[in-house]
Amino acid sequence: MSRRPTTLLAELTHRCPLHCPYCSNPLELARSTAELSTEDWKRVFTEARALGVLQLGLSGGEPLVRRDLEELVDHARDVGLYQTLVTSALGLTRERAVRLKEAGLDHVQISFQDAERESAERIAGTRSWDAKHRAAAWAKELDFAFTVNVVLHRANLDRLGAIIDMAAALGADRLELANTQYYGWAVSNREALMPTRAQVDRSAEVVDRAVERYRGRMQIIYVLPDYYSDYPKPCQGGWGNFYVVVAPDGRAMPCHAASQIATLAFDNVRERSLDWIWNESPAFRAFRGDEWMREPCRSCPRKHVDFGGCRCQAFALTGDAANTDPVCTLSPERLTVDAMLDGDPRPIAYSYRGMPPLAHRRPASTREPV
Amino acid sequence: MPLTDASRPALWKFARVDFDPVRGRPVLLYPEGALLLSDTAGEILALCDGRRTVADIAASLGTKYRADVGGDVLEYLEQLACRELVRDVA
């Protein structure tokens, strides 16, 4: 059987009310005028389903800023996709949640930043606590499948137990705990986000206990911080293997961070069918299978376990996307990663997305991050 | 809790079985996941309505295929129960 994608991540927009320092979207965001139209997205969903896609993630940015979201959900339901809304929940009203339910949305995934209001809003860079907690209650009331997702980093890892208990109290069916990955905007905040090794070790124990405690009530998915691992993550289950991302401007990519690989050109769904892009485009074929691999991957018994790791990370840290992910202890460039883990953590000071640096702000017109 | 022949399995309420015309196979869809099913697995899950017992389901398929499938049905549902995709409502 030919290789078929199962999952489409539709990044409907890069516009977002949050300013998270760990944002993995690219430094250069697509402007709203460059976004795909309603009709474009509908066609993409139809083509995706015909290509074999079963799961649709509606993401961003904040997908709720698209006024046509309900129309897109309605269409995706008609073509038979299982749909997840990945949202900050800012801008959600109960009326809109009802309309999304009626249009066929299956699953709501809401991001939370911490288990305490003050810290959560400092991380998000804006008031958001109340809106998120209200939205969680609507997700339960309207009987959506409900996931809480939390990006973990130095400022919230010490409250991991409280974060897990908060998700359970909100009634989450699933909890995704993802340690920060350093792509896009997050790179500029790496020093403020990187956990200490002691935090990482403790968090693994906290998660193990919580998995047992909440078994049968809430599934806990824990994504390890790969810098602290010996082997790289099997990114997206292999390049061009089952996952496809369409960015707000229509560029189709095998991974949502892939636009940072400057040596690849990504075809656009405005000009090409998704079928052609998946099967024929140079970018999707670039790292598919194992023909492209060099040593130490080429002869490695793990090459079909982790697929050589993350191409975006290989490019970001070694300058060549075809190199072994430098997280791997077999990589000659692992020292680059080790160097980032050494040394004492600096004080936490974030560079916020969509806000001028603190020093450049005029006190009268701008508000400090809450 | 492990399933037994007396369990009354039901799909998790956020999971559903669809037929995928692209692959010509039934698929189990749930939040952030999809499992491609064999035709037999699709038939088993179609019978997981929270009223029939595992033994009922096995008997129904056993009659159709004229074979004792009890062990296979229980083993398959156990696998899905471990992933919380099937739950005993009894």
Residue pLDDT, tens place only, A245-266 = 999 999 999 998 898 899 999 9
> What secondary structure letter does DSSP report for A337?
H
Looking at beta carbons, which residues of chain B come within 8 Å of A51?
22
**What is the spatial distance between Cα A29 and Cα A61, in angstroms, rounded to a whole number?**
9
Mean pLDDT of A314-326: 91
Q: Count of residues for chain A? A: 370
Cβ of residue B39 closer than 8 Å to a chain A Cβ: no
**Is the confidence at residue A342, as pLDDT, over 70?**
yes
Say whether B20 and A52 touch across the interface (CB within 8 A): yes
**Is the confidence at residue A2, as pLDDT, over 80?**
no
Mean pLDDT of B36-46: 95
pLDDT of A367 reads 43
Mean pLDDT of A26-37: 90
Distance, in angstroms, between A33 CA and closest chain B CA? 30
- The dihedrals phi and psi of A226, each to the nearest 5 degrees, come to -70, -25
Q: Which residues of A touch B (CB under 8 A)?
A: 1, 4, 6-7, 49-52, 54-55, 57, 80, 82, 84, 106-107, 145, 147, 173-174, 216, 219
**What is the spatial distance between Cα A213 and Cα A209, in angstroms, rounded to a whole number?**
6
The pair of structure tokens assigned to A238 is 């292999």
CB atoms within 10 A of CB A94: 13
The partner residue sitting opposite A52, judged by closest CB among B23, B29, B32, is B23
Say whether B32 and A54 touch across the interface (CB within 8 A): no
Please name which of A110, A24, A91, A12 lies closest in space to residue A56, comparing C-alpha atoms. A12
The pair of structure tokens assigned to A222 is 């824990």
Mean pLDDT of A5-23: 94
Q: Which residue of A has its CA nearest to B30?
A: A82
Scan for tokens 């389903």, then name that residue. Answer: A49
Opening angle at CA A226, ends A222 and A229, nearest 5: 100
Looking at beta carbons, which residues of chain B come within 8 Å of A236?
none
**Is the confidence at residue A302, as pLDDT, over 70?**
yes
Residue B64: strand, helix, or coil: helix
Say whether B22 and A49 touch across the interface (CB within 8 A): yes
The partner residue sitting opposite B14, judged by closest CB among A50, A55, A173, is A173
Query: E strands along A153-199, which residues?
Result: 174-179
Please name which of A15, A54, A42 lies closest in space to residue A244, comparing C-alpha atoms. A54
Per-residue pLDDT band at A137 (split at 50, 70, 90): very high
Please report, rounded to a whole number, the percentage of residues in chain A having pLDDT higher than 70.
Answer: 95
Residues contacting B46, CB < 8 A, separation 6+: B17
Scan for tokens 């991991």, then name that residue. Answer: A160
Say whether A55 and B14 touch across the interface (CB within 8 A): no
> What secondary structure letter does DSSP report for A189?
G
Q: Which of A36-40, A65-69, B1-5 has the lowest mean pLDDT?
A: B1-5
The pair of structure tokens assigned to A24 is 């993995």
Q: Which residue of B has its CA nearest to A219?
A: B84
Contact between residue B10 and residue B24 where contact means Cβ atoms under 8 Å apart? no
Looking at beta carbons, which residues of chain B come within 8 Å of A55?
29, 32-34
Residues contacting A263, CB < 8 A, separation 6+: A315, A320, A321
| Strand bridging mode B33-36 / B9-11 | unpaired
pTM, two decimal places: 0.92
Say whether A219 and B32 touch across the interface (CB within 8 A): no
Give residue A246's identity as a one-letter amino acid code: V
What ipTM was reported for this prediction? 0.92
**Is the confidence at residue A149, as pLDDT, over 80?**
yes
Say whether B23 and A1 touch across the interface (CB within 8 A): yes
Say whether B34 and A54 touch across the interface (CB within 8 A): yes
Contact between residue B12 and residue B84 where contact means Cβ atoms under 8 Å apart? yes
